[in-house]
Amino acid sequence: MATVHIKIEGVPYEVEAGLTILEAAKICGYEIPSLCAFNHGECSRGSCRVCLVEATGARGLVASCVYPVAEGMEITISSPKAVEARRTSVELLLSNHNVNCQQCDKNGYCELLHVAKVTGAREGMYQGAKTPVTVDKLTPSIKRDTSKCILCGRCIERCKNAHGLSVLGFEKRGFNTIVAPAENRSFANSPCILCGQCVSVCPTGALMEVSEIDKVDAAMKAGKYVVVQTAPAVRAALGEEFGMPIGTAVTGKMAAALRRLGFKKVFDTNFGADLTIMEEANELIARMTEGGVLPMITSCSPGWVNYAEYYYGDLLPHLSSCKSPHEMFGAILKSYYCEKNGINPDDMFVVSVMPCTAKKYEKERPQLVTNGRKDVDAVLTTRELGKLIKRAGINFNKLPDEDFDYDVVGDYTGAGVIFGATGGVMEAALRTAAYKLSGEELKNVELHEVRGLEGIKEAEYNIAGNKIKVAVAHGMKNAKVLLDQIKEGTSEYQFIEIMGCPGGCVSGGGQPYVKPCFLPNEDVDILDTYRQKRADALYREDEGRPLRASHLNPQIVELYKDYLGEPNSHKAHELLHTSYAAKEKFKD
């Protein structure tokens, strides 16, 4: 590895050649204020001018996020000239910013406010015209407010890097420049998959999820029978909202907090995940043995389903017809559970806590209405749950570990837990498919070939004489490779798992923000570090469950025996399956 010798504030250091000044300074123990660096490289680098420093060999001040170190370079961060320039840069950003911090959803996690504090920026130093504002609140998932945008371009780059898409871009020119879908359209009138990855990297409140906290409050106030379910990935990240290390599983404390928030019943979506596997594994076997459309592709991720409907409408027959786990669970709660407990399903209000903003849109799909009722009534992100707990004055870290409600429904296996990680749905499905095909349990249920953060993973399994070749992709940029193979007729797979978000649900667009300026004790400079830590929390919980395959869940067995009949029965299709429809990419 080639190195260079530099000085920072007069102190000599030896660092790797090719690093930027900002990167080298970080390694040497300096935190130069910035709005782009160490946020996964997704920004219009050098545009904000917040990280200006003095460096020998340069003409004037340089943006440390793009300027490379060189042999013998001397760098000064704290000179009056550099300090004043950084402060001025932030003050200029604030001059075109809607500074209503108290009302802003990003309060407490705003990076602009953070660098303003660090640089000593003063509000109101520059007065003048402001860029015309667009506020887009037309989708159930994401809202956009250009009065908060600082034109960093992170959202644009994340959409490209994660999905190979350019839903967002710089619109207009000069002082009127904004970030928006083409022609400043609403997200509702653009081919946005509503995954929320743009929200997760936005440094301000310019992009946010549409909150449904008020909707939950109203249901409780109206005396509805309000129940809640939480997705697998939530337990692996919720603790971060309360200062816990990334990768801390908080299953028991989460159940305790939800109970104290006043929900009538607290369920785990893992039960719905086990139910999904029963339907999906049997659907796969039926397709393989009866000449159905192959490869079959999972349908748990609503961001991926949106992508398929926009960009690969001709491949929709390849998608499993299974609803996603929380939608399945909602349908069962409003039918089977209500019947068992004498509850009027019209009085039940189902809340899903999800790591995903696309789930907010998913619950509004007309295909997810059963007997005239929406399967799920409200979706809160992990971040919104954190806000609810804080609002209630609950000391989360001091809560005892409590269990979920397991009456009639709610129990789960380890297979349900791993749904939150890329490859988890595939692994869970194969655990049950192997039993259904061979009549024997897998000796080793841990299928490491489909685990990990590689963009595309593939494996081949020989089960009872059946060769099953599978693939796993996360992020639409990777999914496109597999989808194009299907279109070209070259795909060799029988089963494919696709997750909309890179890393799977553990890094969904509704999960706690992973921003280094707010996590000084965490190693989050490498993009995949936090994703793997969260995934590992789910795999550890799987290892600790007494039952690790969905078909062994006694409540699932009883549900089929008592109510559904068998997987893929007529009753099961009425409650647990759905359909898809190709969408136009752009609407007038």
Structural element, H or E, at residue 263: none
3-class DSSP state of 170: strand
pLDDT at 519: 79
Mean pLDDT calculated for residue range 380-394: 98
Q: What angle do CA 152, 169, 181 make, to 5 degrees?
A: 125
Which CATH architecture is the domain 3-89 placed in? Roll (3.10)
Burial class (CB in 10 A: 0-12, 13-18, 19+), 135: exposed
What whole-number distance in Å separates Cα of residue 52 and Cα of residue 67? 10
Give the domain ranges of the chain.
Answer: 3-89, 131-209, 214-576
Exposure of 509 in the CB half-sphere (CA atoms within 13 A): 32
3-class DSSP state of 194: coil
Distance of alpha carbon 536 from its chain centroid, rounded? Answer: 16
pTM, two decimal places = 0.95
The answer as to CATH 3.40.50.1780 being correct for domain 214-576 is yes
pLDDT at 86: 96
Q: What is the pLDDT of residues 264-311, one digit of tens each?
A: 999 999 999 999 999 999 999 999 999 999 999 999 999 999 999 999
Q: How confident is the model at residue 516 (pLDDT cuts 50, 70, 90)?
A: confident
Mean pLDDT calculated for residue range 14-41: 84
Q: What is the pLDDT of residues 402-436, one digit of tens each?
A: 999 998 999 999 999 999 999 999 999 999 999 99
Q: What is the pLDDT of residues 104-148, one digit of tens each?
A: 999 999 999 999 999 999 989 999 889 999 999 999 999 999 999
Rounded to a whole number, what is the largest CA-CA distance in the chain?
79
pLDDT at 391: 97
User: Residue 204: pLDDT above 70?
Assistant: yes
Task: Return mean pLDDT, the chain.
Answer: 94
Enter the CATH code of domain 131-209: 3.30.70.20
User: Residue 223: pLDDT above 50?
Assistant: yes
